[in-house]
Chains A and B, each alone.
Chain A
Amino acid sequence: MRYEKPQTVAEAARLLSAEKGLSRILAGGTDVLVQMKSGLIEPDLIVDIKALPGLRSIVAEAGGFRVGAAVAGAQLAEDRDLKKAWPGVVEAANLIGSTQVQGRCTMAGNLCNASPAADSVPALVAAGATVRIAGPGAARDVAVETIPAGPGKTTLKKGEFVTSIFLPARPARSADAYLRFIPRSEMDIAVAAAAVNLTLDAEGRVTAARVALGAVAPTVLLVEAAAAALIGSKLEEAALEKLSAACSAAAKPIDDKRGSVAYRKDVVGVLAKRAARIAYTRAGGKQ
């Protein structure tokens, strides 16, 4: 196994493109190193992206935030402006692991590891985030939900990798929230998860909404019917019930050791309701 720590994006792309065997990007390593240790993967090439210029910083851009692909969870938590604008995204990313894991784990790694239960991903999707992809060709920007292709699989092509995640500017009275259900209170993997991102008008009526679900399908789900249930409402009980029903209906979970189909469908609706209430309050709405 070779370990490389390139200094430029072009060099990283070249290394990845040239490798004939199995290659892996190393960001925080909290997935990749664990998978190597357990014998799940035996890469021939590891490309550490932490030395690439700009990958470890959060910069303001067009009223939004460009978050480098190697920015760790703990760094997100320390960025006041980011937390204020995107509290749901930051709380989702900060749910990953423990204090120790937070010092390492990245949202880009969470996304590209492509676990259906990845915590930051539903929040990024609800936020309408885009990712910038570098590779052998020109850099391109795509919607975050286009990256996961299935458990452990992404749509990234040979030699491609994520350099940053962009969270857009927000209108006034906007907020987001993320909730996951785990049987324990910490150190667990989501059985079901929901992220809600809302914008309100001056009267507290929802004018825009995005609802994304995690751990209830092979990839994150963006549920338009759920968003539609909220738009135009002041989060009345009826709207919340519609939201919950839409989420339960959209969910296509599996039966496994972590939960049954019926349980996940039930709980994802409950989480969506609760997350919607939190986002609504954060956006200044009064219920």
Chain B
Amino acid sequence: MAFDAYQKREFKLVGTRVPRPDGIDKVTGRAMYGADPVAPGMLVGRILRSPHAHAKIVAIDTSEALALPGVKAVVTGADFVLPQDAFLADIGENAMAQGKSLYDGHAVAAVAAISAEVAKAALKKIKVTYEVLPHVTDVDAAMKAAAPVVREGLRLESVPDGAGGNVTHFCEFGHGDLAAGFAKADKIVERSFKTAATHQGYIEPHACLASVTADGKADLWCCTQGQFNVRWLCSELMGMEASQLRVTPSEIGGGFGGKTTVFIEPVALMLSKKAGRPVKIVMSRDEVFRATGPTVSTSIDVKIGMTKDGRITAGEAKLRYSGGAYQCMTVEMGGQAAFACYDLEAVRTQGWNVLTNRPKEAAYRAPGAPQAIYAVESVVDELCQEFGLDPIEVRIKNAAKKGTKSSYGPTFDDIGLMATLEAAKKHPHYTAPLKPGQARGVSCGFWFNFGGNTCVTLNVNTDGTVGVTEGNPDIGGSRASISLMAAEELGIPYEKVRTIVADTASLGFCDVTDGSRVTFAVGIATIRAARDAIKKMCGRAAKIWGIAEEAVEWREGAAHPAGPNAGKFPPMTLAEIAAVSFQTGGPIAGHHEVNADGAGVSFGVHLVDLEVDKETGATKIQRYTVFQDAGKAVHPDYVEGQMQGGAAQGIGWALNEEYIYGDDGRLQNAGFLDYRVPVASDLPPIEAVILEIPNPGHPYGVRGVGETSIVPPLAAISNGISRAVGKRLQQLPMSPPRVLKAIKSA
């Protein structure tokens, strides 16, 4: 067994609900968010945005704006030299338009001025001449041969001949003989679905402060899920060496995937470079909706065959995703995830990425999976109804398990789907009788999870405390979990450990906080860094005792002679070793750097009871339970928070959230009034049932939990509503007008 592989153990601290380290700062308003830093001589940056969905930028005249007293710099697309790499060029092109406005809200120019008033006035003085072009915002319309082509030259070789001009990517997954599979079915259901683009809806708008000095060094403070990624993207776009740009992440007011890239950061850097002064940009809510990264909008066909006793014989899905006016690989994840919950002999998914005049997609919790699984789980539910079968029984019958060749290739190791389904089946929620007018919906969900590049430094202080330095912004309680794991491994109290998130100059590269990777991967690095420190502390004790290093072992927070032959010495605690460290060789620190593997896939099952007002089409969610495998819940409060949070966002997505575009291609609901996230009174208490099926790839058995929970709500709620109204719903969101229409046509 590898040194770090999972070993069953009794935990002292892991699994307890210790106070969160960031709690007091957050509730007292002291936490430093992206908009909080100030610098001497700081200017205000503001961005001018295109009102056109699709337009050629014929000319930009900035002379009047520059002449305005108090304006210190103006930036347009012409200031940037885009990298050759297409991925990087797209990010730069999205941050500042290059010759064409590709969506309503696309940045076309920016100013830095001595005050917000001057900056606002300056924006009005920038004259942009547009030549408006035909636009397309709907994914199906964009697939058509006659559709206006959003951008030329993005098509990859994967795209088969004959696809429309907006198709940029094609992918295919699966195995087995589909025709033979469908031939074995007693019933085949084929349905088409559509899902609207949704926004992560984080409360904190994007904000940054950039300071570029005359000698080419720069500092950037920003709200992000990944400071190293910001450094990479911005240094490439600015033509800087990575080491000359230091990025410091702020406390974060929500990200959910949406803060894994850059929008305003390169603009602030360029303004600062030109103005020679620090520049702060804070987005308005309107800008956040129009010009950051919502999810893909999709159109999906699903065909599933089933025998009358509930065995799925074949499954097929065709997924058309649009990530806006840019190349987008999210459809790959949809194609891989669609049937991942099932053990199938014949399965195929095909995906197309389609360009539309919408903002560039950014990640949103389990990107691509909720849409695909919504479509598949809807058809599975319809087949259960057809045959009068229990929806959980059918899922148990077909569930993927250890040894299943997954629909996307790999063979599964220990996975928790079956245990999760069994837990749901036995739970009082599932056995509770429905009240008149109520209906119940069920859905499974899946997410891959990720490991990735991670560094941790663990410093043992001379007073017996420990500082953990890690490089991943804490978006879901990771500092508490990391401190818990460090304390567990070292054998010291949780309170003795403080974990901080470092800037890019203070630690080696860390991948973005995404893919539910932090508690898993930073956890591994922390445990290994603690073991490294333990080894060093044992060495110091050996030195003091005058015995061999191998003759010292670490137990309960102290070095002990390993056995009677090692000699008789009283144990030395971490604090005692640390106190004399300057005399025994100097400060003690543990390190670990890893590209972590073995994240372990994650499954969840959601149950919902709901009621539909048959006269208005309004849905009331009455009871909601989430079942999910956490491997090991390091801090159960946070795990429950992730499970509940994903469910809450999924409920919003299912019922009301959507990007609404007018015929003019402009976004009509760029604010929280008409982009309707659920408010507290829309949600029932969400019960979270944590299962712990240890992940073999983590020393404590941890699995990521941050994303799976947003996958099942869409289908669970759609299945509930469809049962309540006697008609299969096929479009998200299931807003009251849409549901009333279904009721009237039932």
Known: A184-B656, A185-B679. A259 touches B737 (CB 8 A): yes
**Nearest-CB residue, chain B, relative to A37:** B284
Q: Jot down 21 A-B pairs with beta carbons below 8 A, ordered by A.
A: A38-B286, A181-B616, A181-B618, A181-B736, A183-B618, A183-B656, A184-B656, A185-B679, A186-B681, A187-B673, A188-B676, A189-B674, A257-B668, A258-B674, A259-B737, A260-B737, A263-B737, A266-B615, A267-B740, A270-B615, A270-B616
**Is A183 a contact of B736 with CB atoms below 8 Å?**
yes
The 7 closest A-B CB pairs, nearest first, are: A263-B737, A185-B681, A270-B615, A257-B668, A257-B660, A186-B681, A186-B679
Which chain A residues in 255-287 approach chain B with CB under 8 Å?
Answer: 256-260, 263, 266-267, 270
Residues of chain B within 8 A (CB-CB) of A183 are: 618, 655-656, 676, 735-736
Contact of A187 among B655, B669, B679 (CB under 8 A): B679
Cβ proximity bits B519-548 to A, threshold 8 Å, 1 near / 0 not: 000000000000000000000000000000
Known: A181-B616, A186-B679. A263 touches B740 (CB 8 A): yes
Residues of chain B within 8 A (CB-CB) of A188 are: 673, 676
Known: A189-B673, A257-B669, A263-B737. A184 touches B682 (CB 8 A): yes
Residues of chain B within 8 A (CB-CB) of A38 are: 286
**Is B682 a contact of A185 with CB atoms below 8 Å?**
yes
**Is A267 a contact of B616 with CB atoms below 8 Å?**
yes
Residues of chain B within 8 A (CB-CB) of A260 are: 737
Residues of chain B within 8 A (CB-CB) of A270 are: 615-616
- Docked CA distance A127–B249 (Å): 56
Cβ proximity bits A181-210 to B, threshold 8 Å, 1 near / 0 not: 101111111010000000000000000000
Interface residues, chain A, with chain B CB atoms under 8 Å away:
38-39, 181, 183-189, 191, 256-260, 263, 266-267, 270
- Docked CA distance A38–B670 (Å): 12
Q: In this assembly, does B678 line the interface, its C-beta being within 8 Å of a C-beta of chain A?
A: yes
Q: How far is the CB of A272 from chain B (nearest CB, A)?
A: 12
- Docked CA distance A38–B285 (Å): 10
Cβ proximity bits B262-305 to A, threshold 8 Å, 1 near / 0 not: 00000000000000000000000010000000000000000000
**Nearest-CB residue, chain B, relative to A181:** B616
**Nearest-CB residue, chain A, relative to B680:** A186
Given contacts A183-B655, A187-B679, 14 further A-B pairs with CB under 8 A are A181-B616, A181-B618, A185-B681, A186-B679, A186-B682, A188-B673, A188-B676, A189-B673, A257-B674, A263-B737, A263-B741, A267-B736, A267-B740, A270-B615
- Docked CA distance A189–B676 (Å): 11
Interface residues, chain B, with chain A CB atoms under 8 Å away:
120, 286, 615-618, 655-656, 660, 668-669, 673-674, 676, 678-682, 735-737, 740-741
Residues of chain A within 8 A (CB-CB) of B679 are: 184-187
- Docked CA distance A191–B741 (Å): 16
Residues of chain A within 8 A (CB-CB) of B656 are: 183-184
Q: How far is the CB of B198 from chain A (nearest CB, A)?
A: 15
- Docked CA distance A145–B63 (Å): 51
**Nearest-CB residue, chain A, relative to B741:** A263
Q: How far is the CB of B643 from chain A (nearest CB, A)?
A: 22
- Docked CA distance A39–B121 (Å): 12
Residues of chain A within 8 A (CB-CB) of B660 are: 257
Q: How far is the CB of B351 from chain A (nearest CB, A)?
A: 30
**Is B673 a contact of A266 with CB atoms below 8 Å?**
no
- Docked CA distance A257–B674 (Å): 8
Residues of chain A within 8 A (CB-CB) of B286 are: 38
- Docked CA distance A283–B737 (Å): 33
- Docked CA distance A188–B682 (Å): 12
Q: How far is the CB of B156 from chain A (nearest CB, A)?
A: 35
Residues of chain B within 8 A (CB-CB) of A39 are: 120
Q: How far is the CB of B655 from chain A (nearest CB, A)?
A: 8
- Docked CA distance A102–B405 (Å): 58
Residues of chain A within 8 A (CB-CB) of B674 are: 189, 257-258
Residues of chain A within 8 A (CB-CB) of B735 are: 183
Residues of chain A within 8 A (CB-CB) of B616 are: 181, 267, 270
Residues of chain A within 8 A (CB-CB) of B737 are: 259-260, 263
**Is A184 a contact of B676 with CB atoms below 8 Å?**
yes
Q: How far is the CB of B288 from chain A (nearest CB, A)?
A: 14
- Docked CA distance A258–B655 (Å): 14
Q: How far is the CB of B317 from chain A (nearest CB, A)?
A: 30
Residues of chain B within 8 A (CB-CB) of A267 are: 615-616, 736, 740
**Nearest-CB residue, chain A, relative to B737:** A263
- Docked CA distance A188–B655 (Å): 14
Known: A184-B682, A257-B668, A257-B669. A266 touches B740 (CB 8 A): yes
**Nearest-CB residue, chain A, relative to B656:** A183
**Nearest-CB residue, chain A, relative to B620:** A185
**Nearest-CB residue, chain A, relative to B120:** A39
- Docked CA distance A38–B287 (Å): 12
